[in-house]
Amino acid sequence: MIRTLRYVAATIGLTVYYGTRVVVAAMSGVRQQRGGLYDQIQWSYGSRLLRATRMELVVEGLDRVPTGQPVVFVSNHLSWVDIWGLLTGLPGTIRFVFKKELSRVPFLGPAINAMGHIEIDRDNRGSAFASYDRAAAQIRAGTSAVVFAEGTRSMTGKLLPFKKGPFVLAIAAGAPIVPVVCVDTFERLPKRSISPRPGTVTIRIGHPIPTAGLDYGARDRLAAEARAAMLALGAVE
């Protein structure tokens, strides 16, 4: 019960606090810049949620992330804890591709839109492709994207089938795909649970997969390469 109350209080309190800061900053004309206010806020949000739920983050493979260029981080998705860990552990300016439903969450929705995270309407194919076009433009301008390859959280802790969107996005942006695996986050906070378990969570980063010069037809091969890399990093199938 204490863990549940701490989690609920931290989630609501930090979301309201940081969400308000972001919206006020955006309304005041604060612009996006690498390492700027929005990057600092999302790092602080993730790290404080980890601390509030008594979780320790370990990041492996940071040296594998290409320097001086944006990438598309393609990750598995087991828990809300994945987001906290990725916000805290991934380098550079990153923005998530997220499902449209999150835009309706008070404070969180307006904040993530103001920060430049990319909303995807999975029920509207035309709208989804337009969103990926916007995301590709952001990547080419220097922002790395984070996409959950499965499109949703796993109910079992095992890797689900991959969506094509992340790989189409990487091709459109001409950016390398960097496979990422979140380890032990399912055990910390499985889907539909509100009672997080303290402990260590690990973010494992794989070697980049180049996409330069590839066309839309390569999406399935890239998905297979990314899946194989994520299984090698410890994802469970």
53-59 mean pLDDT: 97
Tell me what pLDDT residue 185 has: 96
For the segment 6-15, the average pLDDT, to the nearest whole number, is 93
pLDDT tens for 226-236 read: 999 999 999 99
Residue-level pLDDT at 106? 87
Alpha-carbon span 10 to 8, nearest angstrom: 6
Mean predicted confidence (pLDDT) in 38-46: 97
- Compute the average pLDDT of residues 154-175: 94
Q: Mind listing the pLDDT tens digit for each residue in 150-162?
A: 999 999 999 999 9
Residue 234's pLDDT is 95
The single residue listed with the structure tokens 């380098």 is 91
Determine the straight-line distance between the first and last CA of the chain, rounded to whole angstroms.
Answer: 32
Domain annotation for the chain: domains and CATH numbers: 2-232 (3.40.1130.10)
pLDDT in tens, 203-212: 999 999 999 9
What are the backbone angles phi and psi of residue 235, rounded to the nearest 5°? -65, 150
User: Using one digit for the tens of pLDDT, what is the confidence trace for 90-141?
Assistant: 999 999 998 888 888 888 889 999 999 988 776 666 676 777 788 899 999 9
Give the per-residue pLDDT at 43.
97
pLDDT score at 120: 79
More confident residue, 34 or 129: 34
Q: What is the pLDDT of residue 124?
A: 67
pLDDT for the residue numbered 126? 67
**C-alpha span between 29 and 32 (Å, rounded):** 10
Q: Are strands 72-75 and 177-183 parallel, antiparallel or unpaired?
A: parallel
Higher pLDDT pick, 31 / 101: 31
Q: What is the DSSP letter of 161?
A: P
Three-state SS for 58?
strand
Q: How many residues does the chain have?
A: 237
Q: Could you tell me if 103 and 122 are in contact, meaning their C-beta atoms sit under 8 angstroms apart?
A: no
